[in-house]
Structure 1
Amino acid sequence: MLALIHDLALKQLKAEVAQYPRMNGYTQLEVVSIQALRSMGTTQNDILDALYERWAAHDAIAVHRVAHPLREPLSSIECFDGYDDYEYSVCDALEALTYELKGGSGIGHLADTVPSEKAAELAARFFALFQAPRAYRGLGWGDPFYAFEQGVVLLDEDRAGCFLIIESD
């Protein structure tokens, strides 16, 4: 249902992002087709659930839950009510991704990971892969053994993409 997209613009973007390794972490950059899900009338929340199944760090999350069990029983934890609280304007999400790609003192690093102008270009090129996307941030899909998950998940009518930055101080 979620067919991996391989196009030249994405391949070039991945190659350029790889030239700027994170100080203590990694980037996760992938785009998939969601046309099949849309054609079946799948809701936005259900599509995001399917993307969670594809992109979340399930093995690491399972190990983390064993190492750090919940203090309250699951029955007393509020049920997940969808992704509305995680949706951001495209403008805000683009600005945040640019800032997060840059790294530097704003996120506890001594030096920028990506020069400011290059970070803005890389973020804009990722967003340009989508037509009128909806943007989601702070989903908690990253490896819990790293301190931070930054970045964005974008969905338009045909595609979904994640550009996540998973790292620690």
Structure 2
Amino acid sequence: MRHRILFGSYPIPRFAGIASHNFVVWTDEKGRPLYEINGGAANADGSFNYCAILGPLTAVVTDYADRDLIYRPEFYTRPTSRTTLLLEGNYASIADRWRAAVDVAEQIRHSGLRYSFLVQNSNSVATAIANSIGVAPPRTAIGRVRAPGSYRRLALDRP
């Protein structure tokens, strides 16, 4: 197996698993997660807000070699998470695409956008990340009910 970038979807139990939280993950040749990008709201101290209703929109890059669940969430490892392949390649080609994804995550963090459950949220962040690496998010993981905000194009300033 080669390195991969996967589009993940985690059914949110609070919403009977109908609505999902989308994320993007990079796995190594053995399928182990190396990095993950999640969108959502930030708490005042900068930590990830798992139960967000309001707050600044953020994108968090999790390094699986340096785990900290308060500041960098992990969804790939949850048993109910589902993933779809976005890209597959050697380490260098995936690392190049991942760098573009991390750049967009940084833009989102500093964008000043506000989190909104139905408009701009984790799902719109995952869509922006997928688009940044030149791939559309999988149709099975987006939708107004399944993944609110997944159709939202974030208004990011381009450098």
User: TM-score, normalization: structure 1?
Assistant: 0.24
User: TM-score, normalization: structure 2?
Assistant: 0.25
Q: Which has the higher helix share?
A: 1
* Bigger-Rg structure (1/2): 1
Higher relative contact order (CA 8 A, sep 6+): 1
Q: Which has the higher strand share?
A: 2
